[in-house]
Amino acid sequence: AYGGDGRRGGGHRGRPRGKGQPVLVVPGFGASDASTRPLRRALSKLGYNVYGWAQGTNLGMNSKRKNLLVTQLQAINTRHGQPVALVGWSLGGVFARELARAFPAQVSQVFTLGSPIMATRRPTTSPRSSICLTRTARRRTGMRSINA
């Protein structure tokens, strides 16, 4: 990965600097914390307190994984005494969004990267493909809501 200045791993100049704010990064389907390591390292260098999801390979949502994710969010929130920013990659973005919907007081913001989510009534991709991707994600994960 090359930064905006062309140097490998560089390019942090001009990026928003953190002041120790907590960030939880959730990988996409079939990925683990190994895949988000470069992103977490970059955020850490910028001054954020960054956490991986620490659950191995993301194989979709189940009750154990959901409980661990909720417990992790609450622990990070308690440790830092402030809401946690969530960064979700692909299916991890769907998880992050649902986590924020279920626990809005514990989440400061959500960043989704390549996730099948519509931000407004107007989809980010064609309506048909966005709906299809969302349904596929829900089918694969069995997740309707983080509260369910």
Residue 55: CB atoms within 10 Å: 16
The residue type at 94 = V
Residue with tokens 């390549």: 114
How would residue 121 be classed by pLDDT, with cut points 50, 70 and 90?
low
pLDDT (0 to 100) of residue 136: 41
pLDDT in tens, 1-60: 434 444 455 566 777 889 999 999 999 999 999 999 999 999 999 999 999 999 999 999
Q: What angle do CA 101, 33, 105 make, to 5 degrees?
A: 20
Average pLDDT, integer, range 112-125:
69
For residues 132 and 128, what is the distance between their CA atoms, to the nearest angstrom?
6
Phi-psi region of 81 (alpha: psi -120 to 50; beta: other; left: phi over 0): left
Task: Judge whether residue 131 has pLDDT over 70.
Answer: no
How would residue 116 be classed by pLDDT, with cut points 50, 70 and 90?
confident
